Amino acid sequence: MTTALSSPPPLFSGDPALLAALAQAALKAGVEILRIRAEGMSTRYKADESPVTAADLAAEELLRAELALLLPGVPVIAEEAVEQGRGEAPADTFLLVDPLDGTREFIGSSGEFTVNIALVEAGVPSLGIIYAPAVEKLYAGGSFASGEARAFRAARAAGAPVDAATWEPIRCRPIPDAGLIAIASRSHLDPDTRELLASLDIAESLSCGSALKFGLVAEGRADIYPRLSTVCEWDVGAGHALVRAAGGSVRRPDGNPLRYGRTEAKYRVPAFIAYGAQG
């Protein structure tokens, strides 16, 4: 059972218990996703030709219900609701939800799909959860009201207790002057991103699906993750919070900050680059 946090402070991220509660919601969504995957599912395609399955819809419904109980009154901007014209208006504090990031990997044989939840405050993601139920990998990170930032990883089966006391702290590694480790999309490697990677001193190139790429930057396994084609805020918000909490950054290619809740842009993010620890 999910219960609302009592008397949340003006900045919800001031309470680390919220990070664990968001993780528990993601673990519950993982149960639905794996159940539907095991039973088999049909796929349809949205106007932008991206796929959507029953697992996307079921996970989003579950998450919206869990988050409404946990943080009543806080708007939830969720991918499928926005697509269906049911999106809520963002406020100064709101939640971003991608119930199934990496649907192509979900439809195929890969386990590289995730549940993404981000809390956005004053346009900046302050808490982020990335959970990959098929590979039982959880990432969680946040910047707290005390000024402290912390990021973690854990192995967790779908539906298991969160047990945040056993989470392993992670940090971005300092970006080397030469010999970078780069991570890029397995399914969406666009020409501009290829060109950027070709211009860098890359010692090792990795690829994987979904928001797991942010996790590799946050745990120091990769130094840079560029995406120079359009994505949506719910694809990026949780990873942004995680990398930021681990000592890295996520910015526009020109170095300016990413801002969230941009309804005028239909929540589109034209491009971004995630970096490990700099300086």
Q: Give the closest residue to 153 by CA, choosing from 164, 161, 224.
A: 164
What is the token pair recorded at 52?
A: 């959507």
DSSP3 helix / strand / coil % (the chain, rounded to 5): 30, 30, 40
Across 40-166, where does the E strand assignment appear? 43-45, 51-53, 76-78, 93-101, 114-121, 124-132, 137-143, 149-155
- Predicted model pTM: 0.92
How far is C-alpha 182 from the geometric centre of its chain's CA atoms?
18
Per-residue pLDDT, 52? 78
The confidence band for 45, taking pLDDT boundaries of 50, 70 and 90, is low
Three-state secondary-structure class, residue 216: helix
Per-residue pLDDT, 83? 85
Instruction: Say whether pLDDT at 42 is over 80.
Output: no
In one-letter notation, the amino acid at residue 116 is N
Per-residue pLDDT, 1? 46
Counting Cβ atoms within 10 Å, is residue 86 exposed (0-12), middle (13-18) or buried (19+)? exposed
Average pLDDT, the chain: 90
What's the farthest any 2 CA atoms get from each other in the chain?
Answer: 51
Tens-place pLDDT, residues 230-249 = 999 999 999 999 999 999 99
Per-residue pLDDT, 211? 96
As a whole number of angstroms, the distance between CA 123 and CA 119 comes to 10
The confidence band for 46, taking pLDDT boundaries of 50, 70 and 90, is low
Tens-place pLDDT, residues 133-169 = 999 999 999 987 667 899 999 999 999 999 999 999 9
Buried b (16+ CB within 10 A) or exposed e, 180-216: bbbbbbbeebbeebeebbeeeeeeeeeebbbbbbbbb
Per-residue pLDDT, 14? 56
Mean pLDDT (whole number) for 103-116: 88
Of the candidate ranges 8-12, 34-38, 177-181, 191-195, the one whose mean pLDDT is the lowest: 8-12
Tens-place pLDDT, residues 67-79 = 999 999 999 999 9
The confidence band for 48, taking pLDDT boundaries of 50, 70 and 90, is low
Mean pLDDT (whole number) for 261-277: 95
What is the token pair recorded at 97?
A: 């939800």
Contact 214, 234 (CB under 8 A): no
Instruction: Say whether pLDDT at 2 is over 60.
Output: no
Beta strands 202-208 and 224-227, pairing class = unpaired
Per-residue pLDDT, 43? 67
Q: Which residues contact 62 (CB under 8 A, 6 or more apart)?
A: 25, 28, 29, 32
As a whole number of angstroms, the distance between CA 178 and CA 38 comes to 44
Bin 206: left if φ > 0, else alpha if -120 < ψ < 50, else beta.
beta
Tens-place pLDDT, residues 122-134 = 999 999 999 999 9
Of the candidate ranges 62-66, 123-127, 188-192, the one whose mean pLDDT is the lowest: 188-192
